[in-house]
Amino acid sequence: MRSYEENDSLILASGGYDHTIKFWETDTGFCKRTVQHAESQVNALEVTPDQVYLAAASYQHVYMYDLVANNSSPVINFEGATKNITDIGFQQDAKWMYSGGEDCKARIWDLKDSASQAPRCYNAGNPITSVCLHPNQVELFIGDQNGIIHRWDLKTDNTDQIIPEQDAMILDIAIDPLGHYMASVNSKGRCYIWELQGSSEEPTKIKPKFKFDAHNKYALKVLFSHDSSLLATTSGDQSLKIWSMKDYSLIQEFKQEGQRWVWDAAFSGDDQYIFSASSDGVVRLWNVSNGNIEREYAGHQKAVTAIAFKDSSVLP
């Protein structure tokens, strides 16, 4: 992997409970920049599609940091939520941002107007843990603490719901880049897979495909590889696992003594490596094929709960 310092197409950032966001050289593990995020822990990080800003979800705010100017202070502040914002993401052309939070609201934010107070809003009725945008750019899938997945059609404002399992919180949702499959993980460690059918002209049809016990404790994160062939899950059982989307078999299990809960993960642009963030304050880079740790990014004083990685050089 190339260093972010040598190639600005690479961005690796991490944040967590120590109220800092760190930017790393991917090749060396050196922290090239630290910014203070004093008001709150960092719940989620996401780089804008144009790689101009890093968005940090926190308590009542989404702060935007300028990646080009290297300004240590947030340059934009989106506010209006009343509790923790737990998840964020962007429309593919960076026209708007979406978020979900513990105030039960999923919001659409106009990126051109930070003072708009999120003009579009959906009340899920329960604290939201995850929000995922379908590749068709017109449907949001929202997971909540009551175990419900909501589909919000942004064109029609229609919504519907599915409940994969009773008495289990939805902790994360992911849709593969091709828009063929959706995955969710829950507080019982189970992973559910659905087949998605339809187009941007009609509501997506959701067909149950497979379910399996991914972890023996809370499953915290689920994500697809860029080529949609792999599925990664993280957990409170101190592990990151890689599954085959062909037959749902376990390909790799990454565990390191002392890393405790694994909160977040991100595939490299070529899917040959995967980053993990854990409660021991370390970000790790793992080799997907052989399971080895290639590099550690140490410097956080408390749990690392969020990472963001972008490699625009391999994206279409």
- State the Cα–Cα distance between residues 231 and 109, nearest whole angstrom: 29
Tell me what pLDDT residue 116 has.
65
- State the 10-residue block means of pLDDT for the chain, 316 residues long: 47 96 94 90 95 94 89 88 96 95 96 75 97 96 98 95 96 97 98 89 91 96 97 96 97 89 96 96 96 95 96 53
Domains annotated for the chain, with CATH where assigned, are: 124-213 (2.40.10.500)
pLDDT at residue 312 in the model: 64
Q: What are phi and psi of 264, to 5 degrees?
A: -150, 165
pLDDT at 311: 85
**Predicted pLDDT at 1:** 39
pLDDT at 257: 82
Tens of pLDDT, residue by residue over 261-273, are 999 999 999 999 9
